[in-house]
DNA sequence: TATATTTTTGACAAAATTGTCTAAATTTCA
DNA sequence: TGAAATTTAGACAATTTTGTCAAAAATATA
């Protein structure tokens, strides 16, 4: 997901803990150039990065995962006709 | 979305109405080769194709759109931790 | 059957995405 | 201030995705 908001969010957390990009990038197995662009919203952050991010930034994985998915759903589908109806149908389908 | 099931679904509808791929492909502005692969689940069907599909297959757009989105959500996120929680959070965020 | 039509396949080029590297710019701090 | 560390930007190659074409395979029908 390319997102200025989400990128800025994790950048702020990183800076609050004084962790350089170098450390986070290594954990995510990408280079600092890519991480910089992710933080600036110029490259996508993928869902498989969330566990490593949560661990290295020492934040709750569950919250971060939920934040990531919910924001991605909105950015992907906001404005699509019947999106809410589709989500509700999906939820009921899961339960069966 | 690459999906054998969804591809087969639209293929069945198309065959029931005896519409050749040629006609549907033209409506979607793709060639029959691509449509064939979509029906076989080898190439992705994109959400912008749903309106044209519904029209040419003479089926209800709302139902098809809901079916498409709900199945895509499942195929993208099924198995992701906290997916249901994320969806619920997303829904409450929409309402505000 | 044999001809026309439809569907599928595979090869290929174009376009988009991803990842890496280098160096410039910025920030930190001794 | 000046050196070290960090961050950002841009160029580039590698990979993946997308779209097109031609022809083979399968199906329909005269």
Question: Residue A48 carries which DSSP code?
Answer: G
Nearest CA in chain B to A79: B94
- In degrees to the nearest 10, what's the CA dihedral of A24, A29, A33, A36? -40
| Residue B95 binned pLDDT confidence (cut-offs 50, 70, 90) | confident
H-helix segments, B40-82: 50-57, 61-77
* Helical H segments across A18-79, by residue range: 21-28, 32-39, 50-57, 61-77
The CATH number of the domain where A41 resides is what? 1.10.260.40
Residue with smallest Cα–C1' gap to C18: A43
The whole-number pLDDT of residue B26 equals 96
Distance between B41 CA and the closest CA of chain A, angstroms: 21
Q: Rounded to whole angstroms, what are the CA distances from A45 to A8, A35, A37, A51, A52?
A: 12, 9, 10, 12, 12
CA B53/CA B29 separation, integer angstroms: 11
Decide if B91 and A84 are in contact by the 8 Å CB cutoff: yes
Q: Output the pTM of the full model.
A: 0.94
Listed as ranges, the nucleotides of chain C within 7 A of a protein C-beta are: 5-11, 18-23
**CA–C1' gap, A64 and C8, in angstroms:** 45
The residue range of the domain holding B15 is 4-95
Average pLDDT for residues B45-70, to the nearest whole number? Answer: 97
Tokens encoding B61: 């757009």
- In percent, how much of chain B has pLDDT > 70? 100
Say what the pLDDT of residue B39 is. 97
Instruction: Give the model's pLDDT for residue B87.
Output: 98
Question: How many domains does chain A fold into?
Answer: 1
| A28 band by pLDDT with thresholds 50, 70 and 90 | very high
User: Cβ contact (<8 Å) for B85 and A66?
Assistant: yes
Q: Considering only residues 14-53 of protein chain A, which place a Cβ less than 7 A from any atom of strand D?
A: 14-15, 20-22, 32-33, 35-37, 39-40, 42
User: What is the rounded CA–CA span in Å between residue A86 and residue B13?
Assistant: 21
Under the banding of pLDDT at 50, 70 and 90, the label for residue B70 is very high
Residue A55 has pLDDT above 80, yes or no: yes
Q: pLDDT tier at A96 (50, 70, 90 boundaries)?
A: confident
Please say if the pLDDT value at position A71 is more than 80: yes
Using CB atoms, which residue from B66, B89, B93 is nearest to A82?
A: B66
């Amino acid at each position: 997901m390319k997102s200025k908001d989400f990128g800025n969010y994790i950048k702020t957390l990183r800076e609050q803990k004084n962790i350089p990009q170098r450390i986070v990038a290594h954990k995510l197995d990408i280079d600092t150039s890519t991480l910089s662009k992710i933080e600036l919203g110029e490259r996508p952050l993928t869902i498989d990065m969330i566990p490593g991010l949560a661990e290295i930034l020492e934040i709750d994985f569950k919250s971060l995962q939920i934040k990531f998915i919910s924001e991605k759903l909105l950015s992907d589908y906001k404005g699509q006709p019947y999106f809410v109806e589709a989500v509700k149908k999906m939820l009921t389908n899961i339960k069966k």
